[in-house]
Structure 1
């Protein structure tokens, strides 16, 4: 609610004899006792009008009866002097008093009277204050669209006038409306803006309301720890101002937080604290809600007699207040209590009452809507008949236009259907082509894999035959020749040397067969992995002719067998190409495995070649490298120039 104007400086000016009392009042947050002394002692009705208004506002937070009494006294004196501005302020004060105890019908009547007077007098800013108060009531009545409309208008004017405290009040109200509208994120932004403005202007009451808004936002988001944080902030501010109405609301909210967390005894403690304030304020709707909540706590604690007693007490209040929606919820809660204590008949009766109330609310709402629609329909029908009688030609033209529009709509629909069908067919065709292409690629991959597997198997077979067949034969020949040499008498030294050379050639041939067999099917690759196999291969190359440096990163674990085999063959082929063609004396090999895949860099300082000439790629060695890398969905890049060496860069993606 938008607060009343601050008139205390005017009081001081009008009544200097009460300066000590006013000073004490200002120092003690405008003490209500001091104001009552002013009313009793002052002979000036103008001073009394102002004091009555401030007393109505002040007691509105702690004592409804006193607040209403002083508000009516303010109105009586204002009417006596026919001071229209003071009359409007009195209506506004009385309206705020009724709002605090949820008597919205009476509150709305008074605020509408205040608005009518202020609008007639051209008091734009004060009229906006009345609109803000009316919007608060619309919010409580569930008329959210109207509430937001009025609040937004008020906010714009307060922003233009730089009234930041009133901006904060309106921001809190808009935030609460959006929260009720289930637009939590938007509501939070309004509460946060209100907190900033309230802190900037040291507005304790507005800051309390903004904290309460954040409390409810986090409660509905089920973030109970954050909700308690803002609840404690709000309680701290409210206790210092002794605002019983706000304390009752906040304690009730804290009780709900503990109830949702399953701490029922703690929840009941806060519900009872809220109830004491409600009783003091004579807020019957608030009292009834507290009794209902306390009853739910007793039910959770399995104290069913107390649960039944408190919920029935709330039901009696709701019946008295004609609060059907609250009454429906209370009957539903009572049904659950009876069910928990295994009183099935009582549970069923309460449930039936809840359903009956729900149906009555639903049927009433529908009846209202149907009546409204019927009135609209009959009105439109009569208006249409008048139009038909007075403008027959116009109606005919409208009919023709409607018919033409219909034709265009049908034609457009037909064209759209054709286009849509074509798009569907085209999409289907593209999908089929994509499937076919995927299958072709799959078959190509399978064929390539089969070729490589067959090649590898053939290598293993040849290696086995070389090692077990030809290798054994060479070993036997060497043994036989060695045996002959022991018994053979050579004619001269030349024959003996020739025989020795022949024996050495047989021995070298035997070693060469083993090397070839090993290169074709290296056992170390199968046993120890890629890095060990490459090192084993490099160690067999004469370092005096070609110095090879190998670096590996991230290859601590074994790779897929196909990947290891292909990479080994590619590096083997690359090294053989360097030995055969590059005339290099230095070769660097680097292998790196990371999340993206495997990178292989093979760089020599040989004579290089022109990569722009296609004939340089006709050799079987380079073709083998390219085809093997392609099989693993990888890429190979050759970087070379005559006289500048060659760099082969290979990337193999790893499939997770």
Structure 2
């Protein structure tokens, strides 16, 4: 089976006799496949006559290969007429049969045709996917001689994506993979496609190499008129006829050919290519005229895949000319086409899924019927046996079932026990982790308090003691009262302030007397005192939060604020507590320098682990989101009770 339409291996009259009179249905099938391929290549209506014969033969002998080939051939026929939607419907049917019945070679060919079809419709992601599947199929089934077709398709996809470096590589690989004993026409077509691409996009290195290969090809192979059997090869004649190639002249020759043969969609392609050449040469007036003709022909032929692109180009060209009204009209028209294509794609996918669903549903019903019939047959055979056999069979079955049920019950119990053990182990690990984090947080809190007492209170008390010793040892009481006592009193005041600060950190008075609302207001005042703007928002019944959750929430807020004041270099801080539907949601957000969360979790100074363990102890969650240079957001959530 070949992707390009192949000529009949021997005269058509002989093939017809084989298809109609041979007693072997396999030989009739082979003859019909050759006939359908031949007539599809020439776009002859006889193709439908022979595909119908092949379909009936496949249904009569339940042969999925014949039915798959029928759908593939009809799909190619529609594709050659530019009717991509209809062609894909048949391709999908062919692919379903190939995959269901494990026809690997057929599946590879269908995937290749689907890739080409989607590529012609500018659905480049789908084109790449199906072409890649075709490549895998060719390799798996040992058809490496056909891999050049896949890379030619990849090259076309990358050309449309304007990834010209990748397109160059794919064209070269396609040429390198083409088999030495391959058909001359296909080699010429491959070289022509590569040459046309290189000429259009001015890929001069590739153009030079292909021109050398083309000269070698002409010297080794005689020109075959079969190259003109397909419309895609019409411009190749101009390449063979002369050394200097004028791509514009080539396209105009192709326009004359397609106009005479009455193929408007191919005529539209020519004007499309002509517009591309003029556009790349910055001859925008001629480009616009070519695009307008292409738009009219595409529209009349109902070939909507390229219309959106054409109208987008026309909008750009009219804008260049200063005709903004026309530019707006074509812009709106291009969007309408794109919306229509998206709707058609969605509907087509929906139809495909519906067909697959109905097919699977019918197959399932058929399997159920077969199982029911088989079960009834077995029951009848059992009742026809002797009574002794039935008794023995019943005893054996009963014993076997009982043993299996007992074993199954043991396995289920063992699995349940293991599962329960795993759950308990995970809960213990989780509890240990939470306790470890809380202990670690408490140790850090103790260290901080000890440091405050040592560095703050310890130093102040030592200074007070020194002043007092000086007062007693060196000065009379009157002079000490006048000179040393004021300084000592000031130091004692500072010591009292430091004691209040440490006490406030350990358990704020506002938290004891004013509850969470007062404590958070004091926290906001602390932020403002340090020169930052602070917004405090409290929504919902704050007073419903119990003492344990109040302390835990305040500690997390306090730790977050301390981090902001020490590290964030922020200008504004948001403190927010919202109670909704028995859930406490709290947020601390700043616009500071931010940090890397993973590294921050490893730094003990930030206290993130302690904050997380406190919230998890309340059966809640703590989420930290930080972006360098943009700030940090800490979000807490736990149940109210």
TM over 0.5, shorter chain: no
- TM-score scaled by length of structure 1: 0.43
TM-score (norm 2): 0.44
Q: Which has the larger radius of gyration?
A: 1
